[in-house]
Amino acid sequence: MERNTRQRGALRRAFQRADRPLSTSEVLELARAEVGRLGIATVYRNIRAMLDEGWLATVSLPGEAPRYELHGKPHHHHFHCRSCDRVFDVPGCTHDLGAGLPDGFTLHDHEVVLFGTCRDCADAR
Ligand SMILES: [Zn+2]
Ligand SMILES: [Zn+2]
């Protein structure tokens, strides 16, 4: 019980500190720095529980393993760095994405994924 609570705490803090969507392997790596021994099965189990509790939300990217982020963030978009494979938040929304809709169509929502190179990867060149 004690151990489980500590593991869950470490996983939560990994998400809070990263402040960007994380894959299961990224969470595993970050949380291991705090609690040491931690298995991927434990990470999967806890992520599922945190999704059920409404604490986490799934970030789906085309052709990618899912990432997870804190639930309830204000509307934002995602940026996928093709060099390091990390996903970042792009706050806000400036595009009138419903502008080109055919007559009679109603827009309910949208997801936008930007692709490119993050600052770290650009600097490393
Ligand atoms: Zn990068
Ligand atoms: Zn938007």
A 10 A CB-CB count for 119 gives: 9
Looking at residue 9, its pLDDT comes to 94
Looking at residue 37, its pLDDT comes to 87
CA of 100 to the centre of ligand 1 (A): 32
How do the domains of the chain map onto residue ranges? 2-70, 76-123
Looking at residue 1, its pLDDT comes to 54
Ligand (nearest to CA of 76): 2
Looking at residue 124, its pLDDT comes to 87
Homologous superfamily in CATH for domain 76-123: Ferric-uptake regulator, C-terminal dimerisarion domain (3.30.1490.190)
Looking at residue 77, its pLDDT comes to 94
Q: For the domain bounded by 2-70, which CATH number is listed?
A: 1.10.10.10
Dmax (CA) for the chain in angstroms is 59
- Whether this prediction's pTM lies above 0.85 is answered by yes
Looking at residue 99, its pLDDT comes to 85
CA of 76 to the centre of ligand 2 (A): 6
CA of 90 to the centre of ligand 1 (A): 14
Supply 88's token pair.
């970042």
User: What is the full DSSP assignment across 78-92?
Assistant: EEEETTT--EEEEES
pLDDT, tens digit only, all 125 positions of the chain: 577 888 999 999 999 999 899 999 999 999 999 998 899 999 999 999 999 999 999 999 988 899 999 999 999 999 999 999 999 999 988 778 888 899 999 999 888 899 999 999 999 87
Instruction: Give the CA angle between residues 92, 96, 101 to the nearest 5°.
Output: 140
